[in-house]
């Protein structure tokens, strides 16, 4: 873990906390390391989603009804 860390209190559901502790033992890592990794992965996914939205920003907008019609015409639904 990084040397510059911040302390924070997080309240976990008891079953989730137990699962985290067990995984920490099984992987020889701390609960903090597991939580940090999970948060980083979640934030990275958000960045990917935002980039995808930006890439498609110039695409023409179509209504929901039009999309359903196209899907039916193409035999997808």
Backbone angles phi, psi at 50, to 5 degrees: -65, -40
Q: Each residue of 21-76: pLDDT tens digit? A: 999 999 999 999 999 999 999 999 888 888 888 888 888 899 999 999 999 999 99
Residue 43's SS3 state is helix
Per-residue model confidence (pLDDT) at position 52: 86
Residue 34: Cβ-neighbour burial (10 angstroms; 0-12, 13-18, 19+):
middle
What is the domain partition of the chain in residue ranges?
14-73
CB 25 within 8 A of CB 33: no
What is the arithmetic mean of pLDDT over 8-18?
97
Rounded CA separation 64/70 (Å) = 10
Per-residue model confidence (pLDDT) at position 2: 55
Per-residue model confidence (pLDDT) at position 57: 86
């Amino acid at each position: 873990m990084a040397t510059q860390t911040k302390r924070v209190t997080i309240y976990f559901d008891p079953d989730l906390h137990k699962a985290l502790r067990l995984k920490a033992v099984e992987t020889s890592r701390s609960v903090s390391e597991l939580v940090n990794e999970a948060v980083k992965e979640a934030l990275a996914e958000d960045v990917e989603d935002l980039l995808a939205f930006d890439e498609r920003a110039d695409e023409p907008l179509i209504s929901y009804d039009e999309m359903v019609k196209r899907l039916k015409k193409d035999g997808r639904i």
